[in-house]
Structure 1
């Protein structure tokens, strides 16, 4: 389901906050008014519709993210409580476990996906980005080029380079985005978005699970390194395919929609695009500021391990807490002029990749993909112009675009 994004600024949330449905089409389409009301209501608000507590202020969301002892992930980072209900798939060994079960998978992945290891991919990905952009612009001559920023750039480039790096065959990659879309929908309630994906998830999930087997993966990718860690005894052989699955489920959609966010920012802030063209090393700041500003991952849940005081409220043991990462990333109590996309800002404290020991282990991969694509575009494109309002792709967890009609004006 898509909806045209509003062209005006956020309005005022109307209605009783505690009875609101944060997973309604209205709020998913434009969450900013609801998030502002949530922040203004206090450190935590009881959301009666789903019997859970919502946090929107930066200081409280940040504190909960790093306090895994009291706000655990092991009961699931979605609405479903794994201690009471059966999860729809085997839980993620990274997102949905806590120490000590979380430790070994994290120790294995951290060096595989860390900045030092990614240096060997830098030249290859920058060259691939240049080739991708050149192909896209090949028939343009000197005139501008009309593209869909999502299908032609934000989706096409990550779907090419990241599965290659994992070691996944090229055939069948069309399963990755719908699989990830359903995964992120499933963190919310079983609403119409989940129902839309249910008839197809067996096919998409079956393909993804098959790619995690040792014999399917190439011998020079991230997947092979994970299986080598199992051979060394750092993890078990039963854990290895689940860790590979984490790369294929959480490592694609987040980057795609992060790129969609930075393209939207550059199209609507031409002065920022000019600054980046003049100083391409700003690509990383631009990507992180876009992740803060747009927050592709809007929410994640935690579960209270004990009664936890938050402000004047006690979140009871066993209660679900919905942390609004997007609200925290636009909290004026923490950020100056938070609704403004600003390349002079230091966005490094944003919670768009989480925080603490569950912080996204693949964030350096996403930054490298973004830097490669933005640098290639900056070399050839003088101006990025929106030609129509983009459409939103609604998801229970992600803030995403379905389409972004853009006109690329070529540099002379």
Structure 2
């Protein structure tokens, strides 16, 4: 990192979307934090924040750091979105309020209480099936992907046919928040087909009568939201409700394989399963970055971010900021991970985070009842994405 005089703004020539940095971003993120509270990324002409204090403040100040101009590199003030913007993620009050209120109610405590026993039983069945195949598994397809894809589409009310499209569509969507690099280009042939499939699933007639999707359409019937908003809210569930949970589960399983003493703590006290998931979300940050746009000239420390400029917030860097966390690179269940920004913060905080926590609790509790140790069984492989911290493969040995 270098500082260009006389402006106090630190600058960096690094490309955070370079494939090598996506593979291993930790050294870059440490440099970003050390350079200052705001750093100018020359490659894209955007401002960046990597420290916890500034990232958290920007996430909670939607009036100054808007989402409506897009949470990716594209600036919707000047560029046309590749799909209709999300009425949750890419909207601000007042347009954001009604969809958020509906989805908060649909995914509220009563819904989770209704699903809890069913999901715990389903997790037990999955773990039993996995163990029947042998002690060595690839945890990504066998557990991290399998469990959310078993329970969440049913809860939404999706048909069985085509569910294999959910992860590719999410991968494409989260890649699109970054630059038009090789990852985006690789997905371009799939855009039309996957988008058409997802949009079709959001139609009322293609959803079951008793799932989250039906409840969203019922809110439209009551006038809480418009008929135009309803399918977009269902689409938000399908976009963000699977990939982030899959990567959170992969992160916590990898954490236990590399920190065996922490797995023993969960086995001794299963109530730590939820803490473990949040600590893994802090430690790995499945969602690494999101953009905001300045609504006016904004002063951050000694730096003024001009109106209309893009700000890239590094959630992963903030979640490992030593100014906020003691020994931040450690996965440690003695830590209270509450306050991490892995699910965002403020009015755009992930509305489905409690669903993800329930899925994790169910799966980890099922494993804790049967598995005495989780060990690495090979070299894990990353799946690169412009926004997500993902795994392609995590070979594990489950000792019973």
Would the TM-score normalized by the shorter structure come out above 0.5?
Answer: yes
Displacement of 1:260: 0.4
Q: CA deviation at 1:160?
A: 0.9
Deviations for 1:247-304, whole angstroms, at most 9, x for unmatched residues?
0001100000000000000111111101101111111000000000000000000000
CA distance in 1, matches of 2:196, 2:107: 25
Check if 1:391 corresponds to 2:381: yes
- Please list the CA deviations of residues 64-86 of structure 1 after superposition, one character each: whole Å capped at 9, or x if unmatched: 00000000000000000111000
Q: Tell me if structure 2 keeps the 8 A contact 1:185–1:395.
A: yes
The CA distance in 2 between the partners of 1:298 and 1:338, in whole Å, is: 16
Give the number of aligned pairs: 393
Residue in structure 2 matching 1:202, options 176, 181, 192: 192
> How far apart are the structure 2 equivalents of 1:159 and 1:321?
33
1:315 corresponds, among 291, 305, 309, to: 305
Are 2:117 and 1:123 equivalent residues in the alignment? yes
**What 5-or-longer segments of structure 1 have no aligned partner?**
1-11
1:100 alignment partner, one of 94, 106, 110: 94
Residue aligned with 1:190, SS: coil
**Selected match of 2:41 from 43, 47, 66:** 47
Task: Give, in angstroms, the shift of residue 135 of structure 1.
Answer: 1.0
Per the alignment, residue 31 of structure 2 pairs with: 37
* Residue of structure 2 equivalent to 1:9: none
Alignment partner of 1:248 is 2:242: no
CA distance in 1, matches of 2:379, 2:65: 39
Given the alignment of the two structures, is residue 408 of structure 1 paired with residue 398 of structure 2, yes or no? yes
1:48: how far off? 1.1
Contact persistence 1:146–1:407 (CA under 8 A): yes
In structure 2, how many angstroms separate the alpha carbons of the residues matched to 1:349 and 1:165?
A: 28
Secondary structure of the corresponding residue to residue 215 of structure 1: helix
Determine helix, strand or coil for the equivalent of 1:229. Answer: helix
Which runs of structure 1 show a deviation greater than 4 angstroms over 4 or more consecutive aligned residues?
A: none
Output the CA distance in 2 between the equivalents of 1:383 and 1:46: 45
Query: What are the Cα deviations for residues 297-349 of structure 1, in whole angstroms up to 9, with x where unaligned?
Result: 00000000000011111000000000000000000000000000000111010
What is the RMSD of the two structures over their aligned residues, measured on CA atoms? 1.2
Asked if structure 2 preserves the Cα contact closer than 8 Å seen for 1:105 and 1:235, the reply is yes
Deviation of the 1:206 alpha carbon: 1.2
Equivalent in the alignment of 2:6 = none
Q: 1:354 — aligned with what?
A: 344
**Contact residue 178 and residue 386 of structure 2 kept, 8 A:** yes
Superposed displacement of residue 139, structure 1: 4.6
Corresponding residue for residue 80 of structure 2: 86
Question: Matches of residues 167-186 of structure 1 in structure 2 within 5 Å?
Answer: 167-186=157-176
Instruction: Please report how far the alpha carbon of residue 203 of structure 1 lies from its aligned counterpart in structure 2 after TM superposition.
Output: 1.3
> For 1:97 and 1:151, how far apart are their aligned partners in 2?
33
Q: CA deviation at 1:138?
A: 2.1
Distance 1:175 1:336 in 2: 40
Q: What is the Cα deviation at residue 170 of structure 1?
A: 1.2
1:115: how far off? Answer: 2.8
Given that 2:199 and 2:235 are in contact with CA atoms closer than 8 Å, whether structure 1 keeps it comes out as yes
Instruction: From 240, 251, 272, give the equivalent of 1:261.
Output: 251
Match of 1:4 in 2: none
- 2:169/2:195 contact within 8 Å kept: yes
Q: Is the 8 A contact 2:298 2:305 kept in 1?
A: yes
What is the match of residue 230 of structure 1? 220
Query: What is the alpha-carbon distance in structure 1 between the residues aligned to residue 46 and residue 229 of structure 2?
Result: 31
Q: Which residue in 1 is equivalent to 2:320?
A: 330
Give the C-alpha shift of residue 17 in structure 1: 5.7
